[in-house]
Amino acid sequence: MTPALPVLCICGPSAAGKTTFAASLSKALQDSGRQPLLIACDDYYRQDWTPHPLFGYDTVEAIDDQALRADLSAAREGQAQTLRLYDMRTRCVQRRPIDTPYDVILLEGAYGPQHLMNDFPFSGVVYLEESFPWRLWRRLRRDVSDRHRSPRYVVRQMFVEMLPGERQFIEPLKLNASVVIRNQTKGLGQVLALLGSPGLGKV
């Protein structure tokens, strides 16, 4: 039987740098001869989701946990050939092909890991932290340019929906973390060491 592939979960609050960190980690793994597969929890938002009256989209309920678990489980067994793709602007769902082989999986997201913490065999859980002003600037830059949302909408969403959602759903993930990262440059080495530790899924 082929052993299951290691899966590292990268989580933390919105605009903490999870996507950037996952890309840097992916590059470092490639440089060491590995073939990482990136899976973003943002691609598993429900297509016909009616925003929560308090949290909007900033809630675990907005994530299609069955679709996420199915794709992640297939990838862990080395059998996934496509992954879900969610368009943040149109809210439409498609599938994208996996074009290259992979031997380690990086799952990245704020919402989605909550559904998996109790029973999915992660090789490690990385929690990223960042100051709120820096995160506000990052989210403004991203959502205004990439998602065509107004600055007023972004700021309102952060204070009214995002922060309550983080307190309720994201901050508790820190209790499951193998490592908490506040400096991404130093954290990259920590995570590479984590993945190479016996019992945590050597890559």
Tell me the pLDDT band of 2, cut-offs 50, 70 and 90: low
Ordered by start, the domain boundaries in the chain are 9-195
Any idea what DSSP says for residue 20?
H
Q: For residues 126-142, give the mean pLDDT.
A: 92
**Cα–Cα distance between 119 and 199 in angstroms, integer?**
17
For residues 197 and 76, the model is more confident at 76
**Cα–Cα distance between 7 and 70 in angstroms, integer?**
14
And the tokens for 73? Answer: 């489980």
Q: What is the pLDDT of residue 1?
A: 52
For residues 90 and 2, the model is more confident at 90
**Cα–Cα distance between 74 and 70 in angstroms, integer?**
6
Q: Does domain 9-195 have CATH number 3.40.50.300?
A: yes
Residue-wise pLDDT tens digits, 90-119: 999 999 999 999 999 999 999 999 999 999
For residues 137 and 108, the model is more confident at 108
Host H or E run for residue 193: helix 184-195
Tell me the pLDDT band of 194, cut-offs 50, 70 and 90: confident
Q: What is the pLDDT of residue 201?
A: 37
And the tokens for 154? Answer: 């972004």
The dihedral formed by the CA atoms of 126, 175, 118 and 11, expressed in degrees to the nearest 10: -30
